[in-house]
Amino acid sequence: MADHTLIHADCLDWMRNQNTDKVDLVFGSPPYEDARTYDIDFRLTGQDWVDWLFPRIVEAVRICRGLVAFVVEGRQRQFRWSATPVLLMADLHRAGIHLRKPPVFHRVGIPGSGGPDWLRNDYEFIVCATSGGKLPWSENTAMGHPPKWAPGGEMSHRLSDGTRRNQWGGTSSSTGMRRECGKRRKHFHASHRSRTKRRADGELEVQSYVPPAKANPGNVISCRVGGGLMGSTLAHENEAPFPEDLATFFVRSFCPPDGIVLDPFAGSGTTLAVAKWFGRKSIGVDIRDSQVELCRRRLAEIEQRYPLFEAQ
């Protein structure tokens, strides 16, 4: 296949004709109930929306050897949330689909988005599913950061009387640098956590925990959104774009180098552009020919934006 393939089709029809384990990552965002009609009179709500998206996720799981992730959101009407992301996950779970705990896409919401008496809506669910078992490839610190704190710390647990005690028997009134027997602990470092391991000859060896270069970033994915922050002005030619930073998180973390990323709701081509920039192949499917053409322009823009383009 070509490195970047664009297809004008209903993604369900297309996926049903593909081989199992065809791609490495599926990432995208389907229509949010009847928030927009997308020029195709899309007006599904509630369980009807869940029933429409359900088979598309099932097929995505079948043709993906790795992670399937969709950014989804419910609707707020008359002081009541539709709960469609949760209903969708419940139906997938009951059908035997393996779900991972959903990360959240965190961004600063529009004032009043939670209603006049409720909290501003600052996050969206990312429904994540697999065919089961450990992911065949992941780099869960790809978007990580240096550890914020040294490991361990002075106190590690409390006794039944509430006294805090560390692993060496030290309490809040002691330094923790001596064992209860009074013998000084060797090689004490506040930034290391020591432990013992029995060698083959039976002797105990003291080992220290060294912090990793990067910490796991966690499952709250914060991105800035809005004008000038989506990664491309072309993104705004789609009704509901998401930022390049969000796609980057998943492409770098869950698609191997030279792997294949599928976006079944390609829209403005954000996922495809990110895949191209980071040296992955991509497939974009969209039911609207106008969006397929927009994706083509978005892919071309990557090279125009960076004349000396070289995949990262």
Whose tokens are 């004490």? That residue is 188
SS3 (DSSP) at 206: strand
Q: How far apart are CA 11 and CA 263, in angstroms?
A: 9
Percent of the chain with pLDDT over 70: 80
Query: pLDDT averaged over the chain?
Result: 86
Mind listing the pLDDT tens digit for each residue in 36-57? Answer: 555 667 889 999 999 999 999 9
Cα–Cα nearest to 164, from 176, 152, 173, 155: 155
Q: Taking 70 as the threshold, does the pLDDT of residue 150 lie above it?
A: no
Which tokens go with 279?
A: 């040296």
248 φψ region: left (φ > 0), alpha (ψ -120 to 50), beta (else) = alpha
**The CATH classification of domain 4-144+214-305, taken from the options 3.40.630.10, 1.10.240.10, 3.40.50.150, 3.40.1390.30:** 3.40.50.150
pTM of the model: 0.80
Mind listing the pLDDT tens digit for each residue in 70-87? Answer: 999 999 999 999 999 999
Amino acid of residue 216: N
Q: Per-residue pLDDT averaged across 164-187, rounded?
A: 53
Mind listing the pLDDT tens digit for each residue in 112-147? Answer: 889 999 999 999 999 999 999 999 999 999 999 888
All structural domains of the chain with their residue ranges: 4-144+214-305, 148-211
Please name the residues in contact with 4: beta carbons below 8 A apart, sequence gap of 6 or more. 272, 275, 276, 281, 282, 283, 284, 299
- 10 Å CB burial of residue 37 (0-12, 13-18, 19+) is exposed
